[in-house]
Amino acid sequence: MLQSSRAHTATHIARQMLEEQIREGFLEPGSRLPTEPELASKLGVSRNSLREALRALEDCGLVTKRHGVGTFVTDSRPLVKGGLERLVSIAEFIAGEGRQPGSVLVQSSTTAASPELERRLGLTENEQVAVVETIKTADSQPVAVCIDYIPTAYLPENFDAGALHEAIFEGLQRELGIVIKYAECQIVPTTATAALASKLDVSEGAALLLLDQVHVDDRGKRVFHSKSYFPSNRFSFVVIRHR
């Protein structure tokens, strides 16, 4: 037990020392870390403790391992940063930061609404919803996975909801005359599942931020529910609070 506690402490110390050097710019983005034996010796920890520390830093996006090459410091500055006070599509958000927005359609399907969706959107039992999943990119790098749930009652017969994937607010207004006015938003810290990690090019278990939202139109109707997952090292939100 004592040996395990010491190993945990050594891992924590190694992680903390490396994180401070990265945050303070002593280890620059893109630079390669020394080899594991060299780094373990410099930090005064075992190689096992160092590996655990590096794994934790990789999970939070501060370093990345390249097989057969080494471990490199990532650019910890987010690709996209902005406020949440104005409701815009992710594409508009990205473009506003001077990045090139992109959207990759993962799936578009129809299914019966879950009990959660029935409650959140005020649907009847077994009402059908269109599910549209996309990967949002900034300068071709994945920055979000978005899953939108739209009741088919709002969609014309045989309408392909996947056509809305590039910018859903603009698409709803252009194609269906639906104007989204505001969203009820929950901000939830979470971690990447294997599926999300693959789509976002992060490690499984990496820190993500989930925006869980219900979008309401200009007539007060709850139009659709969305879940948007953002890697914490690529997308940063700022909330303006007034007293």
Block means of pLDDT (10 residues each) for the chain, length 243 residues? Answer: 53 87 81 90 90 84 81 70 73 85 95 94 93 94 95 92 90 93 92 94 88 94 95 74 63
Query: For residue 232, which of 86, 53, 62 has the smallest C-alpha distance?
Result: 62
CATH architecture of 80-238: 3-Layer(aba) Sandwich (3.40)
Looking at residue 242, its pLDDT comes to 61
pLDDT for res 167: 87
pLDDT at 75 (0 to 100): 63
The pLDDT of residue 93: 82
Rounded Cα distance, 136 and 147, in Å: 11
- CATH no. for 2-73: 1.10.10.10
Residue 240's pLDDT is 66
pTM: 0.69
Half-sphere exposure of 154 (CA within 13 A, CB side): 23
Distance, in Å, from the CA atom of 224 to the CA atom of 214, rounded to the nearest integer, reads 6
Q: For residue 56, what pLDDT is reported?
A: 84
- Gap between the Cα atoms of 94 and 214, Å rounded: 21
What are the residue boundaries of the structural domains of the chain, listed by start? 2-73, 80-238
